[in-house]
């Protein structure tokens, strides 16, 4: 998995977060190798994520990424911003559009081809509890080919004191 | 034919799933999560966690097998092949970390059928073997109604 825009992202000063703050964006290229690695790590061996014939038999354009992998990348957008994967209190998403991950271009094998996902996020609201603890709701967008692949994707996170 | 009498039922608890350090590292690597808290025990402890922290979508690792077990139960009558994941919610009472021994309890929350498609909502309550609640998930799953 190669993250281009995201790899050199500087840590945001989290005390400056306000409603409307944008998270550093993340651009990730997913290849077949990434899908197979995720299948192994997650235990989701549904063949539509590694076998073109099975994917095409259920009217997909070919092998597609796991919805939960796309959701996990949206999670990464948030956890890399916070620097703490344990700060996520809740996270939800709808899988609105499949992400095809091809390995052939013009009839020629190219296992590095894959698909590029663009992930962005915005702080929608900030809440302060009686004890001063701050939480933020972050709306997440994941796009492939300019079109949203996650719907109503949002996380509630604990902000550092 | 899907048996609608399952709606509202709570299924038997899973055997305990032991969250291992290497599984957290492998899962984090697979989603590109490079936080030291997922890979380096000393860093996780320095940040106040007892051990490596799991990325937020990690609960799929142990909840999905319980869901699949139920969906493949011939008594329920779901067509597992071609099942599509429609949406997913996860709520944490606390982060999952290496060393946790977690029990998953699946509850059948809802079933609707529209235009030949079944839409099933399954809730998973995840707690430690000592009964401490850790997280809850909700999945919407879709499958075609049997023609017959």
Those residues with Cβ within 8 angstroms of residue A51's Cβ, 6 or more apart along the chain or in another chain: A63
Tokens of B108: 């059948």
Contact A85 B37 (CB under 8 A): yes
- What is the radius of gyration, based on Cα positions, of chain A? 17
The 10s digit of each residue's pLDDT in A79-96 is 999 999 999 999 999 999
Q: Which of A1, A37, A68 sits opposite B88 (nearest CB)?
A: A68
Contact B65 A92 (CB under 8 A): no
**A-chain residues within 8 Å CB-CB of B65?**
43
**A-chain residues within 8 Å CB-CB of B49?**
86
Is A109 buried (19+), middle (13-18) or exposed (0-12) by CB count in 10 A? exposed
Nearest CA-CA partner of B135 in B119, B146, B121, B124: B124
pLDDT for position A2? 76
Contact B88 A88 (CB under 8 A): no
Integer CA distances (angstroms), B70 to B75, B96, B147, in order? 9, 24, 21
pTM over 0.80: yes
Mean pLDDT, chain A, whole residue set: 91
- What is the rounded CA–CA span in Å between residue A1 and residue A119? 14
Per-residue pLDDT at A45 exceeds 60: yes
If you search the block for the tokens 């529209």, which residue do you land on?
Answer: B114
pLDDT for position A7? 42
Contact A71 B57 (CB under 8 A): yes
Nearest CA-CA partner of A90 in A14, A159, A155: A155
If you search the block for the tokens 């030949």, which residue do you land on?
Answer: B116
Strand partners, A156: A90, A137
Q: Which of B26, B47, B88 sits opposite A84 (nearest CB)?
A: B47
Tokens of B124: 């998973």
Query: Is residue A47 within 8 Å of B80, Cβ to Cβ?
Result: no
Per-residue pLDDT at A44 exceeds 60: yes
What secondary structure letter does DSSP report for B22? Answer: H
pLDDT for position A132? 85
pLDDT for position A11? 58
Mean pLDDT of B64-80: 94
HEC profile of B103-144: EEEEEEEEEEEECCEEEEEEEEEEEECCCCEEEEEEEEEEEE
Mean pLDDT of A119-125: 98
């Amino acid at each position: 998995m190669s993250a281009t825009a995201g790899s050199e992202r500087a840590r945001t000063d989290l005390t400056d977060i306000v409603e409307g703050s944008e998270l550093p964006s993340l651009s990730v290229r997913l290849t077949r190798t990434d899908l197979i690695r995720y299948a192994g790590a997650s235990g989701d061996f549904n063949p539509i994520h590694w076998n073109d014939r099975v994917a095409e038999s259920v009217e997909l354009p070919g092998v597609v990424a796991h919805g939960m992998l796309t959701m996990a990348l949206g999670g990464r957008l948030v956890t890399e911003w916070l620097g703490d994967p344990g700060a996520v209190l809740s996270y939800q998403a709808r899988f609105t559009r499949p992400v095809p991950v091809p390995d052939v271009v013009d009839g020629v094998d190219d296992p590095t081809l894959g698909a590029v996902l663009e992930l962005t996020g915005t702080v929608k609201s900030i809440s302060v509890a009686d004890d001063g603890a701050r939480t933020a709701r972050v709306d997440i967008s994941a796009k492939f080919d300019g079109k949203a692949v996650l719907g109503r994707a949002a996380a509630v996170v604990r902000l550092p004191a | 034919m899907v048996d609608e009498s399952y709606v509202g039922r709570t299924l038997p608890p899973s055997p305990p799933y032991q969250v291992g350090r290497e599984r957290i590292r492998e899962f984090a690597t697979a989603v590109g999560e490079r936080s030291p808290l997922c890979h380096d025990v000393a860093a996780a402890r320095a940040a106040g966690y007892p051990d490596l922290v799991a990325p937020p979508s990690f609960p799929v690792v142990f909840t999905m097998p319980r869901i699949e077990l139920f969906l493949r139960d011939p008594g329920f009558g779901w067509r597992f092949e071609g099942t599509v994941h429609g949406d997913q919610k996860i709520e944490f009472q606390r982060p999952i970390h290496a060393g946790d021994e977690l029990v998953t309890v699946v509850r059948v929350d809802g079933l609707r059928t529209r235009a030949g498609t079944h839409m099933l909502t399954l809730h998973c309550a995840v707690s430690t073997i000592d009964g401490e609640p850790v997280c809850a998930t909700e999945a919407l799953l879709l499958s075609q109604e049997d023609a017959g």
